[in-house]
Amino acid sequence: VLTTIGWILLIGLLSSFLLHLMHRPLYAWIFPSEVYQPAAPFVSWMVLGRFLALASGVLSWAMFSFRRDWLAVRCAFLPISVAVALHFWLVPLHGFKASVFLYLGGELGLFLCSLLGFWFMLSQLWSQKDEKSA
Please report, for residues 60, 81, 118, the alpha-carbon distance to residue 71 in angstroms, rounded to integers and kept in the order given.
9, 16, 9
Domain with 44, as residue range(s), is 2-133
pLDDT category at 77 given cuts 50, 70, 90 is very high
Checking if the pLDDT of 55 tops 70, the result is: yes
Query: What is the pLDDT, as a whole number, of residue 66?
Result: 86
User: What tens digit of pLDDT does each residue of 32-44 get?
Assistant: 777 777 878 888 8
In the chain, the number of structural domains is: 1
3-state SS assignment for residue 95:
coil
